[in-house]
Structure 1
Amino acid sequence: MVINMFVLRELSYAFILFFITHIFGRSLLSHYARKLPPGPTGFPVVGSLPFLGSMPHVALAEMSKKYGPAMYLKLGSRGMVVASTPDSARAFLKTLDLNFSNRPTDSGATHMAYDSQDMVFADYGPRWKLLRRVSNLHMLGGKALEDWTNVRKNEVGHMLQAMHESSCRGEPVVVADMLVYAMANMIGQVILSRRVFVTKGTELNEFKEMVVELMTSAGLFNVGDYIPSIAWMDLQGIVRGMKSLHNKFDVLLNKMLKEHESTRHERKEKPDLLDVLLENRDNKAVGEERITDTNIKALLLNLFTAGTDTSSSSIEWALAEMMKNPSIFKRAHVEMDHVIGNNRRLEESDIPNLPYLQAICKETFRKHPSTPLNLPREAVESCEVNGYYIPKGTRLSVNIWGMGRDPNVWENPLEFNPDRFLRVETMKIDPRGNHFELIPFGAGRRICAGSRMAIVLVEYMLGTLVHSFDWNLADGVELNMDESFGLALQKAVPLVAIVTPRLPPSVYYV
């Protein structure tokens, strides 16, 4: 009897051990037998969240100096791997691109993006591919961009006229306001066949504030996303703000949708992007992927917010850097005056003949990327990178800002020096996602859908502003180059400048 009890006990232990190792073994061994990338230890419950501070891109860049190009952080109950060098970014965004093709579900996607029904946060799949294909075909792709060249030209003309009138009155120009006004109207004409803002006023100011608030709140590290058990408390008030902002945008988007549907018959010969989306929604063919009203509103939100904020921010940073370095302005003017002259506006067809302007834009994308940390991705399955184990569900963040300021990648990285992109060895580097030293829009399947449009807008609008005016600060005003963290990297203090026309008055009027 004693022997039988002993055998029974041992068999019980063996069964329990077998159960643990075979049923739970993978998750246990992934953290103990398999080697995670190095990273900070963190605190109980909150993990490394306190280390991120108010400028996570800066904090993560500093941590990478200690822990290496791919580091692992425990943020609450979630794991996050951070790629901080071109090689590590390539491993995740190219070699393992498909495995990291989805976005994590967090408060921004839930409360701002209609529960991930948009193009930015949606899972990689048929609906996302459809939204992307329609957007490329009618707005963001190469052929579509050519088709609305005149829209850009006319809106830039309205902007120049307003700036010229301000200069005649001796009034300073708030750069971001001018840019958002022009870009929102460009996008409005492509999507809705009309200018969204006819005049600058309260409506435009509210829209700009809403866009900035969205891009700021969507980039914050919300504690509730990492410690789900306390998400209901909304300790930082982020979710409360998102819900309020979402309601404002929803009212605006519903109004756009309703007004547009009532005039669809007027555009049968020349449908705009929203008409195409509505046609897809109404398509009843069995077995075909269809877009819902919610998808349409979510996509419009993507296009209007990201399309105005990221590009305008890049242009504002470029002008600020040039005002800080007047020799760059002088050299840009010499190049433009030689190619364009002083009797007409810059045309988009001039840009290939302006290598210094293109170098200024690349240098801006390097030092002031529109998104300092790429939009997060998530591991669909566990995988291995450089000998390190990455568990399923791990968030991926690529520190684009950190790579742009890494002395191991760039010589004198804190210096704003467009000449670095005119050298033989770096001249062919471009920001379209193929050269991992410079990926301001990300790379791979989830590269920013509007990257082509952003490059066109930044080169054309920045070039036009530089060619058309001399730029100076008002007396007694100092140039502030501080950053404000968010989904997009804003200037903490908006650029306000005194502009002086360089061309004949007739050039500034539409």
Structure 2
Amino acid sequence: MGILFAPTLELFNSSTQTILVILLVTLAIILSTSKPNSKLSATIPSPVALPIIGHLHLLGHLPHQSLQRIALRHGPLFRVRLGSIDYLAINSPSTVKSFLKNHETTFANRATSTGILHLAYNGSDMSFAPYSPHWVFMRKLTMTQLLGGKTIDKLHLIRKEEIKRLLRGFYDKSRKGERVNLPKEFIGLASSIVSRMSVGRQWAGKDDELAELKTVINELEEILGLFDFKDHIWVLKQLGKLGIDFQGIDSKVEEVKGKYDRMVERVLRAKEAERQQLTRKKDGGEGMVKDILDLLMDVHDDENAEKKLTRENIKSYILNILAAGTSTSALTIEWALAEMMNHPNVLRKLLNELDTIVGKDRLIEESDLPRLPYLHAIIKETLRLHCPIPMVARKGSEDCTIDGHFVPAGTPVFVNYWAVGRDPEFWKNPLEFNPERFTGDDNLNDIDFRGQHFQLLPFGTGRRMCPGITLALFVVKTGFAALVQCFDWPSAEGSVDMTEGPGITLTRAKPLVMTPKPRLHKLLSNF
């Protein structure tokens, strides 16, 4: 029947489609009112839901904030129904600990949309792949080789060069009196670092291809931030099966995936040619610093590898690295600078630390970071208030009990990291930007963001914790500190608008745009 209807549907005019929608919506209402309740424990509190859409109307364009507001009334653990699917929402350090520490394996899978899975080469990647032997292998490979300490150390010159390039660009624009769109520049910094570390020479110096890459990453993040109604509302799912794509997500997914696939295929062919040339040399390229793509292809070509990597595995992994490592680092730098402008006393204290430890005659190095505790406290406080990915969704693989409530297999769970970092039950004056909370006598000095302390989880925790945390912290800390060291940032005394914007990442509603004012002219002129 579906095959017979598919070509006929293309001939439907808008009136016919409208009638079809009305009929299907009516049927959906009848079905929704006659369906049995979800198996998710009825003892879990929940707001009143509307027919068909459930609680979609309550979430708005900043769902992490909406979930926190609902938690104020219903408690840190509650149910929300999105369309026909019941989600569990977790919003406090104690419930997150109970959930992720006691049931981490059960909820090791991500809850994701069909469109995102298609973008990720049908789960051939690591970020969205289900918990499986493939995922375990890729995680192990990531932590020991691809993003391991040795690889990150060997590629440190790339980070240093790109930070200098950013500073030089700011200095040139300051001399011309030009205004700078800071988030755009920070995205450029992060994407250049990550792309060069990922595929190295293949994109180095090719501004047109880097621009294409940035476009693809932006479009990918837009898709990741979209709510696909057909995955949650029965009637739209049925229409989707008939080829009706009301939101246009399916066509956008195909477009973006096509762009990325053509781009990465060119890179793979160039890399394969380069590797063939190296094998013909006497030393076989021995001593060459390998990028992440080199390491992936080493495993791909190794007949004795624990697991054989496919071309799709490589493409999807590079996509993971590019998407995850770009906007999150850029946004954290932007939020930190905004906080410095709103808190000039904190900025002065940081400058004193930088001038004392680093001086004014050289640029900060990654090796300086262990001796800069106040810088570390500022970044920690920035990540507490402005978690770059405010919430994630997990999906249960088996029945379990959470805080005495029955949760059946297949239940998706929202973990609201943004709300966890602002929980007044744990944090004193949680909305106040105060790096001193991590340097004083409040017993918070030892709280870190590497997944062991459930009050602060900007990178997640457990098996699904961000594997690029070490790289991200190098980029954020060194990039932010270099900007503070080399340029003066205007004192706003709280007047910088800190309103959040929509998206899967924590964007700023109003981007910072200003003319850079050099602080260390002599140092900048030598870059």
Which TM-score band applies after superposition, normalised by the shorter structure?
0.7 to 0.9
d(CA) in 2 for partners of 1:447, 1:320: 27
Partner of 1:17: none
Instruction: Name the SS for the 2:101 alignment partner.
Output: helix
Q: Deviations over 1:375-408 (max 9, x none)?
A: x111000100111111110111111111222222
Is 2:477 the partner of 1:459?
A: yes
- What secondary structure sits across from 1:153 in the alignment? helix
In 2 relative to 1, CA 58–344 (structure 1 residues): closer, same or farther, beyond 3 Å? same
Aligned counterpart in structure 1 of residue 298 of structure 2, from 273, 276, 279: 279
State whether residues 471 and 497 of structure 1, in contact with CA within 8 Å, keep that contact through their aligned partners in structure 2.
Answer: no
Whether the 8 Å CA contact 1:160–1:509 is kept in 2: the answer is no
Which ranges in structure 1 are unaligned for 5 or more consecutive residues?
1-26
In the alignment, which of 56, 66, 76 is matched to residue 63 of structure 2? 56
Give the secondary structure class of the aligned counterpart of 2:516. Answer: strand
Which one is further off, 362-371 or 418-427? 418-427
Q: Which residue of 1 aligns with 2:467?
A: 449
For 1:20, the equivalent position in structure 2 comes to: none
1:255 corresponding residue in structure 2:
266
Q: Aligned in 2, Cα 1:250/1:54: closer, same or farther, shift over 3 Å? A: same
Partners of 1:79 and 1:395 within 8 A in 2: yes
Q: Letter of the aligned partner of 1:102 in structure 2?
A: N
- Are the counterparts in 1 of residues 343 and 491 from structure 2 also a CA contact under 8 Å? no
Which segment drifts farther, 229-238 or 73-82? 229-238
The aligned counterpart of 1:221 is 227
Letter in 1 for 2:440: R
Q: 1:285 to 1:46 in 2, by over 3 A?
A: same
One-letter identity of the residue aligned with 1:213: E
Q: Is the 8 A contact 2:146 2:295 kept in 1?
A: no
1:31 to 15, 22, 39: 39
| Offset at residue 284 of structure 1 (A) | 4.1
Question: How many pairs were matched up?
Answer: 477
Q: Is the contact between residue 370 and residue 440 of structure 1 (CA under 8 Å) also seen in structure 2? A: yes
3-state SS of paired residue (2:406): strand
Q: Aligned AA for 2:99?
A: F
Q: Does 1:131 align with 2:138?
A: yes
Work out the CA distance in 1 between the residues paired with 2:204 and 2:297: 23
Map Cα deviations across residues 95-131 of structure 1 (whole Å, 9 max, x no partner): 1100000123413432321222211100112211222
Give 1:186 shift.
Answer: 2.2
Q: Deviations over 1:293-350 (max 9, x none)?
A: 1111111111112111110111111111211222222221112112111111111122
1:351-366 matches, within 5 Å, as 351-366=369-384
Residue 238 (structure 2) pairs with residue 212 (structure 1): no
Q: Which amino acid aligns with 2:363?
A: R
Q: CA deviation at 1:196?
A: 2.8
Q: Which residue of 2 aligns with 1:18?
A: none
Distance 2:265 2:172 in 1: 35
1:246 aligns to 2:254 (yes or no): no
User: Greater CA deviation, 182-191 or 110-119?
Assistant: 182-191
- Equivalent residues of 2:87, 2:413 under 8 A apart: yes
Structure 1 segment 20-419 matched on structure 2, within 5 A: 31=39, 34-194=41-201, 196=203, 198=205, 203-231=209-237, 232=240, 233-265=244-276, 266=278, 268-269=285-286, 270=288, 271-285=290-304, 288-374=306-392, 376-419=393-436
Q: Is the 8 A contact 1:139 1:273 kept in 2?
A: yes
Shift of 1:431: 0.9
Cα offset, 1:197, TM superposition: 5.4
Q: Which amino acid aligns with 1:214?
A: L
- C-alpha separation between the residues in 1 aligned to 2:502 and 2:115? 15
C-alpha spacing 1:509/1:114, structure 2 compared with 1 (3 Å): farther
Query: TM-score of the superposition, structure 1-length normalised?
Result: 0.87
Kept in 2, the 8 Å contact 1:216–1:485? The answer is no
In the TM superposition, residue 442 of structure 1 has moved relative to its aligned partner by 0.9
Secondary structure in structure 2 of the residue aligned to 1:445: helix
Q: CA deviation at 1:243?
A: 2.4
Query: Secondary structure of 2:78's partner?
Result: strand
- Mapped partners of 1:361, 1:234: distance in 2: 42
Separation in structure 2 between the aligned mates of residue 108 and residue 332 of structure 1, nearest angstrom:
44
**Whole-angstrom distance in 2 between the partners of 1:227 and 1:303:** 32
Contact 1:342 1:502 in 2 (8 A): no
**Structure-2 separation of matches of 1:188 and 1:235:** 34
Residues 236 and 405 from structure 1, CA distance in 2 versus in 1: closer, same or farther, beyond 3 angstroms?
A: farther
Q: Which amino acid aligns with 2:224?
A: A
- CA distance in structure 2 between the aligned counterparts of 1:184 and 1:384, rounded to whole angstroms: 42
Q: Which amino acid aligns with 2:322?
A: F
Kept in 1: contact 2:344–2:491 (CA 8 A): no
CA distance in 1, matches of 2:400, 2:74: 20
Q: Does the CA-based 8 Å contact 1:383-1:390 persist in structure 2?
A: yes
Q: So what's the TM-score if we normalise by structure 2?
A: 0.85
Q: For the aligned residues, what is the CA RMSD?
A: 2.4
| Secondary structure at 1:194 match in 2 | helix
- Give me the whole-angstrom Cα distance separating, in 1, the residues matched to 2:415 and 2:396: 14
Preserved contact between residue 438 and residue 445 of structure 2 (Cα < 8 Å): yes
**Cα 1:182–1:508 shift into 2, 3 Å:** farther
Structure 2: unaligned runs, 5 residues or longer? 1-34, 279-283
**1:473 CA drift (Å):** 8.9
Q: SS of the counterpart of 1:80?
A: strand
Question: Residues of 1 paired with 2:502 and 2:118: CA distance?
Answer: 20
SS in 1 for 2:462: coil
CA, structure 1 residues 473+220, in 2 after alignment: closer, same or farther (shift >3 Å)?
Answer: farther
State the shift of 1:366 in Å.
0.6
Kindly state the Cα deviation for residue 167 of structure 1 after the two structures are TM-superposed. Answer: 1.4
2:488 aligned partner: 470
